[in-house]
Chain A
């Protein structure tokens, strides 16, 4: 570039463009390299950490996880083996703060030990739903054409059977092999189409972006573009519904156990305890109330977390606040 000597040339009568020294080109053209990088996740974190709802739900979730991991720290009473029928539906006594069930077991101990079951089922279902949903949604959205047609129709078929009804059927078939894995499978196998649909529509929006075209232009293989560029940029709404799906899975397990096709009564499950207590609702409502409260609080904390994440990740939801 030739040097422009501004001192010797004749002053021009008019300026159509601001003179060089008045235009701070540095400020326009350069990126502040030392500044904090910003992306959706960092913005979301900045948003989330200022909200009390996030910290409250996080604290609740951590407490529940802690109880599930170390039930022995919260109760010394065994949940199943030290039951005495003499205590049936008994009032609280020393060391038994919430009283006794119909079978004379300690209510508090059963609630503490039930946390692990709910969380385990919730987590296994969530992993299953996330994996299946992302696989189906990613291939359907990214490849389009007949792949999309086939995968979306399969999703429609699974979506047509409400997943709790499907789980009821599966669990009645596996009446003799009921355990945490089977019930998680029964819930998860029919719960994934929603995740797949959400990811698919998000990918359809993202896959024509410039960076995808750029990646194609420099010869990145299609498969790699999908996993390295398109899926990570479409995953935000999936994270939101996955958090809420975790709450849904916990409810589903409790509902199945409540209906009597969930876990056998040897497992500690809040749904089982609620089902057991319903026969004595009139005389001993507290036996039903306490596991219901535990279940609702757990579900509430995950739903609240989901709401916070949704607000942070979805600009549209943010605008509506």
Chain B
């Protein structure tokens, strides 16, 4: 396990360097003057420009600038937002909200998705299965902002079941609707993965053995079938985390959730380049860390991975 962990950690390093380099390259090696973008139509005095260029190392060669940026990231410094706040302060304020939203969404999609997938898989070809597949096909086709607006309009504005926007402090009951919307993107995929995984596991020899030695269905389904079917679902959560982050950006924008996503959403709307880069970097790092953790978890769950 230690060997596997070390190998996996070593693999992350080039990806991390490459990804941050790409983001940095996209923003700062491309045509356009960052300072001109900062000031818009009214250019500042030349002295100010020179001072800012010096302050942000813009006079140094590109690669040196990149290393300044990288050093900042490794010291936990993600830069300063447009309005002069440190990104770390903004993160400290907004991150807990997004984590709460994401965990709630993952909870919803896992519980509902695994339940529907399990029942569909066990009763392959039945009415429940056909309905489930149909609903999941429709859900996959709906872009997240469409789901968001439809839910906001019908469930919150028309029916008044939920609050259409999230109040200060983001209490849990306000987060339910955004979390449901966020869960809807991956729900369909989890249903399908669980379904096909359950069908495959249910036809394996050890399940037949369990039946033939007289175990009850109530024991075989959760312990033998479900547990062995969940590995691909858990791995999927890792690769899907990127979708979750993008989804959170849109959902938090629609429901005005005071999280990381909305901060990025507003930075995008206002065209604040440096803020966008900082937050995208944070999200990419988060994505890499989550995938690393899930890979390690995967190896704990399935020993075959470690020895491969």
Report A's interface with B, CB cutoff 8 A. 153-154, 156-158, 160-162, 164-166, 168-170, 172-176, 247, 251, 254-255, 258-261, 274, 278, 281-282, 285, 288-289, 292, 295-296, 299-300, 303-304, 307, 317, 320-321
A13 to B28, CA, bound (A): 93
CB <8 Å contact, B245 and A320: no
What residues on B are CB-neighbors of A165 within 8 Å?
242, 245-246, 249, 280, 283-284
Known: A168-B268, A168-B276. A162 touches B137 (CB 8 A): no
Q: Which of B1-50 contact A (CB under 8 A)?
A: 11, 14-16, 18-19, 22-23, 26-27, 30, 32, 37
Min CB gap A66→B, angstroms: 20
- Name the 6 nearest CB pairs between A and B, nearest first: A162-B242, A157-B18, A300-B141, A160-B19, A292-B146, A299-B141
What are 8 inter-chain pairs, A to B, with CB distance below 8 A?
Answer: A160-B287, A162-B284, A165-B246, A165-B283, A168-B276, A175-B271, A292-B143, A320-B196
Known: A165-B245, A172-B276. A259 touches B265 (CB 8 A): yes
Does B124 make an interface contact (CB < 8 A)? yes
CB <8 Å contact, B271 and A172: yes
Does B308 make an interface contact (CB < 8 A)? no
Known: A156-B15, A165-B283, A172-B276. A261 touches B268 (CB 8 A): yes
Does B145 make an interface contact (CB < 8 A)? yes
Number of A-B pairs, beta carbon distance below 8 Å:
132
CB <8 Å contact, B271 and A169: no
A273 to B281, CA, bound (A): 30
CB <8 Å contact, B19 and A162: no
Does B204 make an interface contact (CB < 8 A)? no
Apart from the given pairs A156-B18, A158-B22, 20 other A-B contacts in the complex at a CB distance below 8 Å? A153-B14, A156-B11, A156-B14, A160-B18, A160-B287, A168-B268, A173-B26, A174-B30, A254-B145, A255-B246, A259-B268, A281-B157, A282-B153, A285-B153, A292-B146, A295-B143, A296-B146, A299-B141, A303-B140, A303-B141
Chain A interface, DSSP helix/strand/loop, else mixed: helix
A154 to B22, CA, bound (A): 11
CB <8 Å contact, A255 and B276: no
Chain B interface, DSSP helix/strand/loop, else mixed: helix
Known: A160-B15, A172-B268, A175-B271. A303 touches B280 (CB 8 A): no
Most interface-central of B146, B196, B245 (chain A CB within 10 A): B146
Known: A157-B18, A160-B15, A320-B124. A173 touches B245 (CB 8 A): no
Interface size on B, residues (CB 8 A): 53
Does B183 make an interface contact (CB < 8 A)? no
Min CB gap B149→A, angstroms: 6
CB <8 Å contact, A157 and B22: yes
Does B144 make an interface contact (CB < 8 A)? yes
CB <8 Å contact, B19 and A161: yes
CB <8 Å contact, B22 and A282: no
CB <8 Å contact, A307 and B277: no
Give B250-282 as 1s and 0s: 1 = Cβ < 8 Å from A's Cβ atoms: 100110000000001100110101001100100
Q: Give the nearest-CB partner of B254 in chain A.
A: A278
Instruction: Specify which of A153, A174, A259, A288 is in contact with B18 (CB 8 Å cutoff).
Output: A153
Does B64 make an interface contact (CB < 8 A)? no
Min CB gap B143→A, angstroms: 5
